[in-house]
């Protein structure tokens, strides 16, 4: 059976499971596999690409004949076939899209690529989202639980990047300074009445965190 046929059967099985459970297949976001297999002096690089989602892991070992598309396809199959995974995955070319499984939510997620020969190859043969790792943005706390428009507070969490965006009640918040991987300082935007906080990193949305927007009572 060809790889295309296996992938088609897997995708149909995923969609049948989703429809049978009564939930729509909600795309959470996509990840790209970049790079190419390296060789040096007749030695081909080998390594692993590992996906860990809510503490559940699967790994794929790459080698001489691996390509971006073959890694994305294999990783998608491994994720979808593991019953304890909270998501499904489907690959098209070198792009891997994660889909919500039922009512599950992601509390933590990462996909990493690592060479088994770092002394021979100075960089990974294959990259995840143009880097060695990818992490899902997760909020773990706020420096203040409530406040009025214009007030600043800090969001703590994981998986943030310098180009992170933040919305409060669906309204884009102004970011103060440069976000780090674990902290973002923002101002509460004007016109917000409901204050759920959400961090967006390269199109991936974190689970929301509750925040109360105060309305000053002027005398």
Within a domain: 99: yes
Q: In the prediction, which pLDDT does 74 show?
A: 97
For 122, the token pair is: 């100075």
Distance CA 130, CA 132 (A): 7
For 23, the token pair is: 């939930």
Within a domain: 84: yes
Residues 70 and 84 in one domain: yes
N residues, the chain: 219
Coil, helix or strand at residue 144: coil
Single pTM value for the model:
0.71
For 90, the token pair is: 């489907």
For 175, the token pair is: 């970011």
Within a domain: 218: no
* CA-based nearest residue to 185, from 213, 215, 216, 153: 153
Beta partners for 43? 40
Q: Tell me the residue range of the domain where 91 lies.
A: 3-135
Q: In the prediction, which pLDDT does 10 show?
A: 53
What string of pLDDT tens digits covers the 219 residues of the chain? Answer: 555 555 545 555 554 444 444 445 678 888 999 999 999 989 999 999 999 999 999 999 999 999 999 999 999 999 999 999 999 999 999 999 999 888 888 888 889 999 999 999 988 899 888 666 688 899 999 999 999 999 999 999 988 988 899 999 999 999 999 999 999 999 999 888 888 999 998 888 888 899 999 876 665
Strand 146-147 versus strand 165-168 pairing type = unpaired
Look at residues 110, 135, 160 and tell me which one is the last residue of a structural domain. Answer: 135
Residues 142 and 100 in one domain: no
Q: In the prediction, which pLDDT does 25 show?
A: 63
- Residue 35 backbone dihedrals phi, psi, to 5 degrees: 95, -170
Residues 128 and 65 in one domain: yes
Looking at the 3D structure of the chain, how many domains does it have?
2
Terminal alpha carbon distance of the chain: 76
């Amino acid at each position: 059976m060809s790889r295309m046929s296996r992938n088609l059967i897997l995708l149909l099985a995923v969609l049948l499971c989703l429809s049978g459970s009564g939930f729509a297949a909600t795309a959470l976001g996509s990840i790209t596999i970049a790079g190419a297999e390296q060789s040096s002096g007749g030695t081909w690089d080998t390594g692993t690409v590992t996906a860990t989602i809510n503490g559940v892991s699967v790994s794929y070992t790459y080698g001489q004949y691996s390509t971006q598309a073959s890694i994305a396809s294999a990783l998608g199959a491994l994720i979808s076939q593991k019953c304890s995974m909270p998501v499904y995955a489907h690959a098209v070319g070198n792009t891997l899209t994660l889909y919500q499984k039922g009512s599950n939510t992601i509390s933590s997620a990462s996909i990493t690529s690592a060479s088994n020969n770092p002394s021979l190859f100075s960089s990974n043969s294959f990259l995840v989202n143009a880097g060695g790792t990818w992490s899902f943005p997760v909020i773990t706390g706020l420096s203040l639980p409530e406040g009025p428009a214009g007030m600043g507070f800090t969001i703590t969490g994981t998986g943030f990047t310098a180009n992170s965006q933040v919305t409060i009640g669906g309204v884009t918040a102004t970011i103060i300074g440069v976000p780090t991987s674990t902290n973002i300082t923002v101002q509460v935007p004007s016109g917000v009445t409901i204050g759920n906080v959400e961090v967006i990193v390269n199109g991936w949305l974190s689970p929301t965190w509750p925040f109360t927007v105060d309305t000053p009572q002027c005398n």
